[in-house]
Each structure stands twice: as C-alpha cells, then as structure tokens.
Amino acid sequence: MMIYDYTNVFARILSGEITCKKILEDNYFLSFYDINPRKKVHALVISKGAYIDYSDFFSNATPDEINGFFQGILKVIKYLDLTTSGYRLILNTGINGGQEVPHLHVHILGGEPIGPMVYA
C-alpha cells in the first residue's frame, strides 16, 4: 500500500505554503489553474482530503467526500462556462497513467478542441 506523501506540491497548495490561481473551493475540493496549461482552459480540481489517487479515494473516502469532489468538478465546469462548448476530464493514475503529483486530481480541459483522446 502506498503512503500519502504530505510534501507533494498539491498538499503544499492545500496548506497554503504554495500559492495557486484559485478558481473555486468548498469543504471537499479546491480548484485552480494548471501552472503549465495544455489548452486554452486547463483547470485542476483536487480533493481537500489526503488521497493519493482514484483507487485510494474511492476505496477510503466517505460518501460525502466522494459526492463533494465530483459535485466540485461540475461546479468548476459551470463556473468556467464549458457546459455547452464541451470539455475533457482527465484523471491520470499511477505510473502507467502518467500521474506526476500523488494527490487525487482531475484535469478539466476546454476552450478549444482537445484533439485525439490518446496518442498511440
């Protein structure tokens, strides 16, 4: 079992040690703009709780935390006015998933066509 690394960059953003370009937050999620945007709109939604990835989160979070996180993604999508034009959610997990930061997060990409789903 992996142990949550409290020194990861998103943990530092949650603790206020590192600043971010905040979009929205509540008790369950914090959203901010990706520091290295890959599309016109590139937001991140992270859980307030210390969860490493999707497996850890869905296995160990409370129903309120799970609901709050996914509702948070929807709130950000609406706030960024992406509902009609569309968007892509990405949740990289683990080594093969290309996850760089070991704290649960979802990417919201939009504002322009996102392109192929994956590169072969």
Catalytic residues: 105
Site for ligand AMP in 41-70 (CB under 6 A): 44
* CA–CA gap between residue 83 and residue 117 (Å, rounded): 19
- Residue closer to ligand AMP (CB basis): 100 or 113: 100
> Interface with ligand AMP includes 16 (CB under 6 A)?
no
Q: Which is nearer to ligand AMP, 64 or 73 (CB)?
A: 73
* 74 near ligand AMP, judged by CB under 6 A: no
Stretch that binds ligand AMP, among 54-62, 63-71, 91-99, 108-116 (CB under 6 A): 91-99
Element (H, E) at 119: none
Is residue 20 within the footprint of ligand AMP (CB under 6 A)?
A: yes
Cβ-based neighbours of 26, under 8 Å, separated by 6 or more: 68, 72, 75
Whole-angstrom distance, CA of residue 35 vs CA of residue 51: 21
Quick one: which segment of 33-41, 53-61, 67-75, 80-88 binds ligand AMP (CB under 6 A)? 33-41
Give the H/E segment covering residue 53: none
Helix (H) or strand (E) holding 64: helix 63-79
Query: Which three-class secondary structure state does DSSP give residue 103?
Result: coil
Please check whether residue 82 is in contact with residue 112, taking contact to mean a CB–CB distance below 8 angstroms: no
Q: How many chain residues interact with ligand AMP (CB under 6 A)?
A: 12
Residues that bind ligand AMP (CB under 6 A): 9, 18, 20, 34-36, 44, 92, 98-101
